[in-house]
Structure 1
Amino acid sequence: MDSITQVALGSAVGYAALGSKLGRKALLVGAAFGTLPDLDVLIDFGGAVENFVFHRSFSHSLLIQLMLSPLFAWLLLRFQWSKPVSLMRWSVALFAIMSTHALLDAFTVYGTQLLWPLTDYPFGVSSIFIIDPAYSVPLLCAVIALAFIKSPATGQRLNIAVLTLSCGYLAWSVAAKWYIDDKIKAAMTAQNMTYLAYESTPSAFNTLLWRAVATTPSGHYEIYASIFDNPEEVSIAFYPTENTLLDKLSNERRVRLLQQFTKGLYGIYLENNQLIFSDLRMGVEGFYVFSFVIAKQSQQTLEFADFKQLERRPPLSRASKLFERITDPSIKLNFQSDIQPD
C-alpha cells in the first residue's frame, strides 16, 4: 500500500498496543515502525529488475520481523520515555506494527515475500488497489483525531472501531474478488476461452470495478468487470504480443527473475527494434507501470539490452472513465489510444 496508508495503519496498531502506557507517543512509534519495512527502497539491489523483484523481500518477511522485534524493543528501552512498557510488550507491539504492514501489502497484487528466506515466493491476494481511499481515509482521520483526544478510553474505543472497519473492508475486498472471478470465468467459458495464467485486481481507487488479465501463447486478454455487471456485460479485449521471442532469452538471469515474479502474467512487445517485458498485473494495456527493455533486435537477431525501466504511467486524464464504467458496461476502456511515441 501507499506510504500514507502504512503510516496511518502503523499509528493505529501502535496506539492499540501501547496507547494505554505511552499515550499519544504510541502514534509516533507506530508511524515510524509502520514505515520501516518500506525503507528497502533505499537499497540498490543491483539494477532496475532486481530493485523491482527484491522490494518487499527481507524487510517484509514475517520471520525477519519476528526476530528483529526483540532487538528493536531492547534498543528502545535505552530511552527513559519507553520504560513504562516491558520488553515483552514492546516486542509484541513492534512485531504487530511491522507485520500488519507486510500483511496489508500482501493484499495487493505486487507480491510480498512473507516467508523469506524460507521461500522467495511473492504472496499476493490481489484484492485491494495500492491506493484505496475507502480503506485509507477512515484510518487517517482516526489517527489525526487520536492526536487531539485527551481521554485514553475514548481514544481506544475510536481506534478499535476504525481498525475493525479496516479489517471489514479487507474482508469485503476478498469477497468481491471471489464474486468477480466467478463472473469473469463464466463469461470466458461462454466464449470458449482458454488461458495459461489469470489474475484479477481492483481498478484504481475502488473495489467495485475490476481488471483481469488472462495470458495465452500469442497474447493476452484484458478484462473489465463491475460488481453490477452480468456475465454477458463483462468487457473482454485481446491484445497480441511477441512472447515467443522470449524463448531465445530465457537463460538470462534477469529474464527468469521477471518471469517468476510476475507468475507468468507478462507480455513481450517489439517496439522500435526494442524487446520490452511488461508486467501485465499493474497498469492498463499500453501503460504498464513495470516495463523493461530486455533486448534489441538487429537484422533478425536479439542482443541483450541494459534492462532499463520505462516510464509508462496510466493517464490520469482517463481515470473518470473507470468510475463511469462501474455502472455503465457500454463504456470502452481502451487506453492504447493515449500512447505517445517515446
Structure 2
Amino acid sequence: MAVFFFCNVERTMDSLTQIILGGAIGNAIAGKKLKNKAVLYGAIAGTIPDLDVLAILFTDPISALEIHRGFSHSLIFAIFGSLLFGYLVYLLEKKKGLAFKEAVGVFFWGFVTHSLLDVFTTWGTRILWPFDYPFAFKAVFVIDPLYTLPFMFFLIRSMFEKNNVAKRMYWNKLGLIVSTAYLFVALLLKGIAFYAFTSALKEENVVYTSISVKPTIGNTILWNGIVETQDSFLIGEYSFFDHSSIQFRSYPKNLAYGEKLENNKIVERLIQISEGYYTFSEKENEIYFNDLRFGLLKNDDEDLQFAFSYRFVVDDNGKLTVEEVKKERKDGVLLLKKLWERLKGI
C-alpha cells in the first residue's frame, strides 16, 4: 500500500483539529458539570467519524476512498450514533448531574460539527448519505494552522479555569467564535481568488466548461485553479502576493486511452471518486488514471506525477486491476518547499 507524505500529515493534523473542535463542543454543552471530562467526551465525539479510515485495513484502496466521509459523516449517523454513545456517557456521569439530553447533545453536535468542518475542506463529505453527493466548499485545506492553533489555545486556556465557570465558558466561546469566523473569512478569500482566475481566463479568451478553485496546503493565501476545457484541463496558481498574471498549464484529457477500458467498473468508480476532474496518461505502454483534485506531486516535464494516480495492470488471471502509484516522502517535502516559495508571489 502506497504511503503518501501528505496523507499521513493530513490524518494527524485533521484528527487534531477535529479533537479540538469536538472538545470545545463538549465543553460548551457539559463543561459546567463535567469540567475537563466534557472536553474528553467531546474529543471522542470529534474522533469517531474519521474511524472510517480504518476501512483500508479490510478492503482495497478504491473502496476505502469510497467509504471515507460517507456514512460515518452523515446526519443519520449523527442521530443514531449520538443516542448510543450519549446513553453510555449518561450512565457513567448521571451521578454528576449530567442529563441524558446533554450527553446526547455532546455527541450529536460533535458529529455534526465534525462533518460541517469537513464540508469547508477540499474533500467531499456526504453529509446527506445515502444520497451520493459530496459537499465541499473548498475554502480551507484539511491542514490549516491558522484555524487549528488559535482554537487550541482558547480551548486549553478554558480548561485551566476549573473553578471559575464564567471564565471557562468565556474562553471556550471565544475559541468557537474565532475559529468559525476564520472559516467565513476563508470563503471570502476564495471568492476573491475565484474572481482572479475567471478574470485571467477571460483575458486569455479561454472557453471552459467548469472551474474548481481551492486553497493549497496549510494556507488561504495560495490558491489552485483547475479549469476544464473540451479536450484538456488547465491548472494554475494564484497568490494574493502575485504581481503578474496567472499562468495556466495544460494537461490533455487523453480520453482515447480511457476508451480502451470502456465499461470497466473500476474506471467508472475512479471517475466518480475524482468528481470528473481526471486525465489518462501513458508511460512505458501502461495506462494511468490521474485524479487532478489534489494537484501535482512532481511538476517537472521529465517526471510528472499527480498526487493521486493509479496504474492499470492485468493480474495473473487476466483481470484488470489498479495500483496506486507509490509516492515518496522526499517528494512531499520538496513540494512543500516549492509551494512556500510560490506563496510569496511572482
TM-score class, shorter? 0.7 to 0.9
8 A Cα contact 2:266 2:321, kept in partner: no
Q: Deviations over 1:167-209 (max 9, x none)?
A: 1110011111111111101101111212343211101111011
Q: 1:7-30, CA deviations, whole angstroms, 9 ceiling, x for partnerless residues?
A: 111111111111111111011101
Q: Give the conservation status (yes or no) of the 8 Å contact 2:55–2:67.
A: no
Structure 1 unpaired stretches of 5+: 297-302, 330-342
8 Å CA contact retained: 1:53, 1:261: yes
Structure 2 residue 310 is the aligned partner of structure 1 residue 292: yes
8 Å contact kept, 2:253–2:278:
no
Matched, 1:308 2:344: no
Name the amino acid aligned to 1:157.
Y
Note the C-alpha offset of 1:81.
5.8
Work out whether 1:47 is the aligned partner of 2:57.
no
SS at match of 1:307: strand
CA distance in 1: counterparts of 2:257 and 2:196, whole angstroms? 33
Identity, % of aligned pairs? Answer: 33
Aligned to 1:108: 121
Alignment correspondent of 1:139:
151
Q: Which amino acid aligns with 1:164?
A: I
Which whole-Å deviations, capped at 9, do the CAs of 1:43-67 have from their partners, x for residues lacking one?
2464111111221100001222122
Report how many aligned residue pairs link the two structures.
Answer: 321
Q: Quick check: 1:25 aligned with 2:37?
A: yes
Q: Partners in 1 of 2:167 and 2:234 — Cα distance? A: 51
Contact 2:154 2:174 in 1 (8 A): no
Residue of structure 2 in register with 1:153 after alignment: 166
Q: Match for 1:279 among 291, 297, 301?
A: 291
Pick which of 240-249 and 50-59 moved more. Answer: 240-249
Give the 3-state SS of the residue equivalent to 2:322 in structure 1: coil
CA distance in 1, matches of 2:122, 2:320: 27
Quick one: distance in 1 between partners of 2:73 and 2:196?
Answer: 33
Decide whether aligned partners of structure 1 residues 203 and 304 sit closer, same or farther in structure 2, where only a CA change above 3 A counts.
Answer: farther
Is the Cα contact below 8 Å between 2:119 and 2:135 reproduced in 1?
yes
The separation in 1 between residues aligned to 2:305 and 2:129, in whole angstroms, is 31
TM-score by length of 1: 0.87
Matched residue of 1:187: which SS? helix
Alpha-carbon distance in structure 2 between the residues aligned to 1:279 and 1:304: 22
Alpha carbons of 1:287 and 1:155: their partners in 2 closer, same or farther (altered >3 Å)?
A: farther
Structure 2 distance, partners of 1:321, 1:220, is 22
Structure 1: how far apart are the matches of 2:278 and 2:96? Answer: 51
Q: How much does 1:126 deviate?
A: 0.7
> Which residue is equivalent to 1:92?
105
Q: Does the C-alpha gap of structure 1 residues 25 and 287 become closer, same or farther in structure 2, counting only changes over 3 Å?
A: farther
Mark the runs of 5 or more structure 2 residues left unpaired by the alignment: 1-9
- Do 1:242 and 1:270's aligned partners in 2 also have CA atoms closer than 8 Å? no
Cα distance in 2, alignment partners of residues 41 and 318 from structure 1: 25
* Aligned pairs for 1:170-319 within 5 A: 170-229=183-242, 233-284=245-296, 285=299, 286-295=304-313, 305-312=320-327, 314-319=331-336
Counterpart among 38, 43, 58 of residue 50 in structure 2: 38
Moved more, 235-244 or 97-106: 235-244
Question: Which residue identity does 2:342 align to in structure 1?
Answer: R
Distance of aligned partners of 1:226 and 1:31 in 2 relative to their CA distance in 1, 3 Å threshold: same
Secondary structure of the corresponding residue to residue 251 of structure 2? strand
**Retained in 1: the 8 A contact 2:240–2:345?**
no
Q: CA RMSD in A?
A: 2.1
* TM superposition shift of 1:295: 4.5
Match of 1:79 in 2: 92
Alpha-carbon distance between aligned partners in 2 of 1:259 and 1:204, rounded to the nearest angstrom: 24
Deviation at 1:80, TM superposition (A): 4.1
- Measured in 2, the distance between the counterparts of 1:288 and 1:32 equals 34
Asked if the contact 2:155/2:171 (under 8 Å) is kept, the reply is: no
Structure-1 residue corresponding to 2:338: 321
Contact 2:241 2:344 in 1 (8 A): yes
Q: Distance in 2 between matches of 1:260 and 1:59?
A: 19
Q: Structure 1, residues 270-320: CA drift from partner, whole Å, max 9, x if none?
A: 122222112111132534332222356xxxxxx864212123365322423
Distance 1:11 1:177 in 2: 28
Q: C-alpha deviations, 1:237-293, integer Å up to 9, x for none?
A: 112342331123242222212212222111212122222112111132534332222
